């Protein structure tokens, strides 16, 4: 079963292994999430559970979501995500049920999605990793450019998808196969090796790695 759990990135730090190796880690707060609704084959054509995360004030609730929380007898939440499950797995969930971080354990592989840090309008070197131009040998006002953008009379246009400067960041990014270094169920804290997309306190989605599902 692959549940999409919701949480926040708290920040990065480092941790020592027993032999002295330093591992960079990210600290995440995951859940607790609540089951708001279920999608069923008969009614919706597929099976899924809807999980919600983080309480908000009553007056901040969206009108369109208000009813769903009322129906589930839950306090209003900020985020909701659907996770596809099989029919048998769906029966294990009840509306209003709490889902906790203990789904995950140390050593698990997880996929983490988040919204990457917005970098605004950036040049071609930062955005696409292009090499730029030589600094010397008579280069004049042409240091961080991307070079030629195409041929001449034929095709006499620039091909679609040509890598150029523009807005960078602020998009959904998923990292696959991150290793869970530690789980602290008492505080809903998960520690994963490596970096996670987005700023500190940014929203993230965590699920077991799709490529490691058996």
Partner 1 sequence: MKVVDEIEKEYEKYKKIPFKPGDRVKVHLKIVEGKRERVQVFEGYVIAIKGSGIKKTFRVRRESYGIGVERVFPLHSPRIEKIEVVRKGKVKRAKLYYLRERVGKSAQVKQTL
Residue 100 interacting with partner 1 (CB under 8 A): no
Place of tokens 């309480």: 55
Question: On the CB side of 24, how many CA atoms lie within 13 Å of its CA?
Answer: 6
* Interface pick for partner 1 out of 19, 59, 154, 156 (rule CB under 8 A): 19
* Interface pick for partner 1 out of 7, 29, 112, 114 (rule CB under 8 A): 29
Residue 195 interacting with partner 1 (CB under 8 A): no
* Interface pick for partner 1 out of 55, 67, 200, 212 (rule CB under 8 A): 200
- Strand blocks (E) in the chain: 5-16, 22-30, 33-39, 48-55, 77-84, 98-99, 109-115, 120-122, 166-168, 172-184, 189-193, 203-208
Per CB under 8 A, the segment of 21-29, 43-51, 95-103, 118-126 that binds partner 1 is 21-29
Residue 120 interacting with partner 1 (CB under 8 A): no
Residues between 148 and 187 that touch partner 1 (CB under 8 A): 187
Q: Closest distance between partner 1 and the C-beta of residue 72, in Å? A: 29
C-alpha span between 2 and 212 (Å, rounded): 11
Per CB under 8 A, the segment of 15-23, 81-89, 107-115, 122-130 that binds partner 1 is 15-23
User: Is there a contact between 17 and 33 (Cβ–Cβ < 8 Å)?
Assistant: no
Residue 20 interacting with partner 1 (CB under 8 A): yes
E strand or H helix that includes residue 89? helix 87-91
DSSP 43: H
Interaction site with partner 1 (CB under 8 A): 10-20, 22, 27, 29, 187, 189, 191, 200
């Amino acid at each position: 079963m692959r549940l999409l759990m919701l949480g926040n990135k708290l920040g990065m730090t480092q941790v020592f292994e027993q032999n002295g190796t330093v591992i960079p880690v990210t600290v995440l707060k995951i859940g607790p999430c609540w089951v708001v609704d279920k999608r069923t084959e008969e009614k919706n054509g597929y099976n899924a559970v809807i999980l919600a995360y983080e309480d908000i004030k009553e007056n901040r609730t969206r009108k369109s979501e208000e009813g769903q929380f009322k129906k589930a007898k839950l306090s209003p939440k900020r985020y909701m995500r659907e996770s596809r499950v099989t029919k048998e797995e769906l029966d294990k969930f009840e509306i209003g049920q709490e889902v906790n971080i203990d789904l995950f354990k140390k050593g698990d592989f997880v996929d983490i999605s988040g919204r990457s840090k917005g970098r605004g309008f950036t040049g071609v070197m930062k955005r696409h990793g292009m090499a730029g131009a030589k600094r010397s040998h008579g280069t004049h006002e042409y240091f961080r450019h991307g070079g030629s953008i195409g041929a001449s009379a034929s095709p006499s246009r620039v091909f679609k998808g040509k890598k150029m400067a523009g807005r960078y960041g602020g998009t959904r990014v998923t990292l696959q196969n991150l290793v869970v270094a530690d789980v602290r169920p008492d505080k809903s804290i998960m520690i994963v090796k490596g970096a996670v997309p987005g700023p500190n306190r940014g929203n993230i989605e965590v699920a077991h790695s799709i490529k490691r599902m058996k």
